[in-house]
A and B are shown apart, each in its own frame.
Chain A
Amino acid sequence: MERSFAQEVEKLQLKKGELFHGEGILAVTKALLQSGVSYVGGYQGAPISHLIDVLGDARDLLDELGIYFENSASEAGAAAMLSASVNYPVRGAVTWKSTVGTNVASDALSNLSSAGVLGGALIILGEDYGEGSSIIQERTHSFAMKSQMWLLDPRPNLTSIVKSVEQGFELSEASNTPVMIQLRIRACHVHGSFVASDNRAPVFSTHNPLLKARFDPGVINLPPATYAQEKHKIDQRWPAAVKYIQDNQLNEHFPGDCEDVGIVAPGGLYNGLIGAMQQLGLADSFGKSRIPILALNVVYPLVPEELLAFCRGKRAVLMVEEGQPNHIEEALNAFLRKSDIATEVHGKGAFPMAGEYTGEVLLKGVSNFIDAVAPAGLQADTVHMRATDLVRVKADAAQQLGNPVPVRPPGFCVGCPERPVFSALKMTKKKFGDIHISADIGCHTFGALAPFQVGNTVLGYGLGLASSSGIGHLMDKRVISIMGDGGFWHGGLTTGVVNAVYNQHDSVLVIMKNGYTSATGTQVIPSSPSQPVKPVALDIETTLRGVGVKWVKTVPSYKVGQMLETLSDAMTTTTPGLKVIIADGECQLERQRRIKPQIARSLAAKERVVTTRFGIDSDVCTGDHSCIRISGCPSLTIKPNPSALRTDPVASVNNGCVGCGLCGENAHAAVLCPSFYKAEIIRNPSRFDRIKHRLRSKVIGWMAGQSRVAA
């Protein structure tokens, strides 16, 4: 991690009454410190990586308060950390990306929530659903329900978010239950402000340790305790939670003059809902709404009394519930039915069953509801006309544009060390015919996109190799699996490598060793070259040999030819068992962050610096673009053809080039055209450099030719 978060760390030290300006996820971090938390853990992933990055840089502050922080090895590890709160009155918080992280953590979470907690246990979930999401589309809500953990979904403004973190701990302690707080991507990245209060040093901390271990057979997950625990959930913890939520009015009721209808929405969707209502003339800029709104900052458990009280006397309510299954809507219907209240519930139907509730979706949904129920005192048709006018433009645009503009999915950065590996893999496929390739999660998942289209399945983080174990035995050729070093330490070592060695799989594994979990924001992992605190970095190759892998070869990522040879080797060797190729090349983002300042300094200090760049002779290039089809580098692009005869654009290298060398490697490995050249410019040259240059340019100047023109 070459980035510094010193600025953010300063914000974590704000005192009572001072105004905090910053990101949502940073506000959560501050709120943790204000709640007297004793320990924090987590596993990085957008959109909560920032919490981990910042706490990682805030060691001094944490030491001063006596808080233990660790960057857990996986979400499972982070969740298990919360066991500290089972027996002891200490507050703890962990964080990860949901739902994927919650999947990994669910074993520990189920056991934790069954045993129950004494100290407040908070799980901060970065909900990666909808636009910009990088994962499968599921709901965290179902996890909360199956394990009876409480789920907070606060309104997405910093004050509400901070408040619900603080109340989350209290709710957890009041009901002996771990509490999850769900923050959507945009809520994590929302930039706003709140009034800070002082940080609270925890009662029990690294400075003031617990003196006595507590044994309570009741919290051990063995029968008969487990049966008692389940009853305790239902008889004690649930009612306690409901009571706390009611007494402290965690859910908010916003009145409106159209009393005959109402809207129920999770806090997280409140702003979007108001936004849509503002556009339809149903709310003002300050959220004053014509229609009464019940904002559920706690979406599980629900408080039947509150919902019934809200619905009583209303003809219809609109349930705004993103994603599916629509648990809340179903529960609401059941409540109404049981207590014989005839209020109609409009939810899915007015809204689509699946997909993010963007501004457009909310506009349509609310207007559909108004159309259907025509609230007293509202001009339903004017609302309808507004809505249609607003969303009209999209259809017009589609119609006028004809074909949609080219998609632009995320891809490998300029000079990424993973790109050359996929060049080699694509050529390997060309050579051996279609090989089955089990891809993994990480930046390298982009290998499945154009121009490489390498990767047949993605089953989860670190599961690249594990997901090949079935198909590997059913294919005529050896299969290739891909795994990042992040995934390797996250679980790929055991689920993949150890499993393959133990079960004697005969397949090929490519480990992308770029030194960080790059896709999540280049956090350090056990094998990172630069370790912030722990002095020792673990070595992947040693680990592999340690678990009995015989065939291990490390290849520099950028050496396409060598990678191609090694892959062919691995595909054809008679050596049985797992064959591992470690593609070794540091994440270019991190590398640039490190060397750019260095180069700048050297240049300033008038030291000799050699900068490398690639280029293409546009008069030699014939516009076939095969170089692009095995690279896709953002800085290897196209430009109008300078020739008066040619019409197709020529390939060209733009200023973004960092001189990683892939173009040259590909030119050789794939026998591309001779248009590529590498230019190494010597800044602040030595005297010798200059003399040599002068002599050479002179001689070359004599030899240099001209374009021939007929006299």
Chain B
Amino acid sequence: MNPQTKSFSILIAALGGEGGGVLADWLVAAASSMEFPVQSTSVPGVAQRTGATNYYIELYPVPRSELAGATPVFALTPSPGRVDLVAATELMEAGRAVQSGFTHPERTTLVASTHREYAVAEKVIPGDGRYDGQGVMDVARTLSKKVHLFDMRQLALQHGTVINSVLFGAMLGTGELPLSRQACEQAIRDSGKAVKASLAGFNAGFEAVANPAAVAAPAVAEAAAEAAPTRKPTGPLADLIARYPESLHAILQAGVEQLVDYQDLGYAMTYMERVAQVHQAQIAGEKAGPDTTREAARYLALWMSYEDVIRVADLKSRAQRLQRVRTEVGAGPNDPMRVTEFLKPGLDELCSVLPRGIANMLRARLKDRAHQLHVGIHLRSDTVLGFAALVALRSLRGIRPRTWRFDREQQAIKRWLSSLQAALALDGALAHEIALAGNVVKGYGETNERGHRNLDRILAIAAEAGPGNAAAIAERVRAERLRALSEGETPSPVVSNTNPVIKPISFVPRRKSAARSD
């Protein structure tokens, strides 16, 4: 035996419930079957739930028989520069291992899945709170000896298995793990659960690392989803769009399609006219670039296709949607399926389909009780009647332009655009900020109300802009927009007794009321 032989250390970074423990057991079993001294430790406890958790394994790659009774001393915690192989089931967990200094440029091989399980901190942000995954991959590359990154969740799904088996295969695929493939596969077999699928996943993971060509595929697919589409203008308004700078085509095309789909070609024309005005103002002003027009066009299209009852019914009653639901929940075309829609229309939703006059009257009458007027509906859209209801609502599209909501949104849009045009003549930065501010009006019910309030506030600030203070105003508009977008308010409850009167606290029981119990 040669005391210079170092023990081999493996750190598994996983999330609770991803089978990290099983993976550790597989490694221990495989090592034991090869007569190698091995030790694994972990800190499950409550981290076993959804939190980040890790498993640490050390093994001495020499059979016991050759050790003459000597037993290696293994560490119980990973240590910087001690880990030979870091295996992570998710990208940020890989990042966490790197951040903790567990990868060393001279010693550590990192194998990790590139898919994301977003942390609550990322999900709760109203806008986009996602952590930059690319950055993590870049840092991992510079701070590890070798890295193997690919979407293991994808492979796991393909082979109907859990990510841990794919990761196990990938770990062996790196060629670093001093274990025989035969021993690893036997360990999976002996564990006796879902053996076939696990072995398939194991093999897929192994191949993905052993043959990098296969690795590229999922990674690219991931990127494609994120990338903005670059498309040639098509359809009746194609040549209209073609007149604009290239960088606007994708957005304008998408905008036109969205609005044709939302209302009709005429509405799309209106959209293009509004864009034209903005664009001319931008050219004339010579303060802002085409980006400003692009962002304005983006949010204009979204705003003009505001989600009212008609739109929602329309989207929910389409053939494509029925198909999408089936694929999303994994139902075959012939599996009977009950689908329940959760709708809770209130005064706003009602008014969104009523003519201006009646709506205003209703709102004036009911404004105090608006919050109580929501009716929770469990609409069974898989039944003929339920679906028919959606179709009926959808068919109101024709009267949309005469509704109170339409009028209201158009007014606001006009205010926004005129403020934008004024700014375009004044200051580029300010104009761009106002263009982006088009994003604050979105969502339903209360969220939408809040959006309108925020936009009014922003336009009020913008109105103060003059030659002297444009830069300062731009800053304030920006600040206000960011505040509005990060305004993560808890949706307020709707229960029958709003603004309750809180009874005085009584510590001495009053005989009379003590008797009654509600």
Contacts and interface: CB of A to CB of B under 8 A. Distances in A.
B120 interface: yes
Interface string B68-95: 0011111111111110000000001101
A461 B518 CA distance: 30
B50 A359 contact: no
B261 interface: yes
Interface stretch (A53-61, A87-95, A241-249, A670-678): A670-678
B492 A427 contact: yes
Contacts of B237: 710
A573 interface: yes
A256 B284 CA distance: 85
A431 interface: yes
Contacts of A519: 46
Contacts of B225: 640
B329 A613 contact: yes
A645 B302 contact: yes
Interface string B99-120: 1110111000000000001111
A301 to B, nearest CB: 26
A668 B256 CA distance: 34
Contacts of B335: 681-683, 685, 693
B443 A620 contact: no
B226 to A, nearest CB: 6
A648 to B, nearest CB: 5
Given A405-B136, A671-B374, A187 B76 contact: yes
B307 A285 contact: no
Contact of A574 (B76, B329, B513): B513
A573 B503 contact: yes
Nearest to B49: A410
Highest count of chain A CB atoms <10 Å: which of B45, B489, B497: B45
A398 B51 contact: no
A: contact size bracket: 35 or more
A663 B101 CA distance: 39
Contact of B45 (A132, A478, A571): A132
A405 B96 contact: yes
A327 B342 CA distance: 62
Contact of A617 (B49, B321, B338): B321
Q: Find the residue from A405, A632, A685 having the highest chain B CB count within 10 A.
A: A405
A285 B72 contact: yes
A637 B123 contact: yes
Given A285-B3, A398-B99, A575-B516, A443 B343 contact: no
Given A426-B490, A634-B50, A677 B121 contact: no
Contacts, number: 482
A623 B307 CA distance: 13
A640 B130 CA distance: 10
B251 interface: yes
Contacts of A499: none
A504 B330 contact: no
A704 B490 contact: no
Interface in B421-457: 442-447
Contacts of B302: 645-646
B510 A397 contact: no
B317 interface: yes
B493 A427 contact: yes
A74 B163 CA distance: 39
Interface in A511-556: 519, 550-551
A564 B510 CA distance: 27
Contacts of B517: 550-551, 575
Contacts of A681: 329-331, 335-337
Interface stretch (B170-178, B358-366, B379-387, B404-412): B379-387
Contacts of A284: 3-4
Interface string B29-42: 00010000011111
B46 A46 contact: yes
Contact of A430 (B5, B126, B382, B490): B490
10 contacts: A46-B46, A393-B104, A408-B119, A450-B121, A550-B514, A619-B315, A622-B442, A624-B447, A645-B254, A710-B260
Given A574-B506, A636-B123, 12 more contacts: A393-B81, A400-B143, A405-B136, A576-B514, A624-B447, A630-B490, A644-B228, A668-B376, A670-B492, A700-B384, A705-B391, A710-B236
Q: Which 4 A-B pairs rank lowest in CB-CB distance, beginning with the nearest?
A: A359-B79, A394-B101, A275-B75, A132-B43
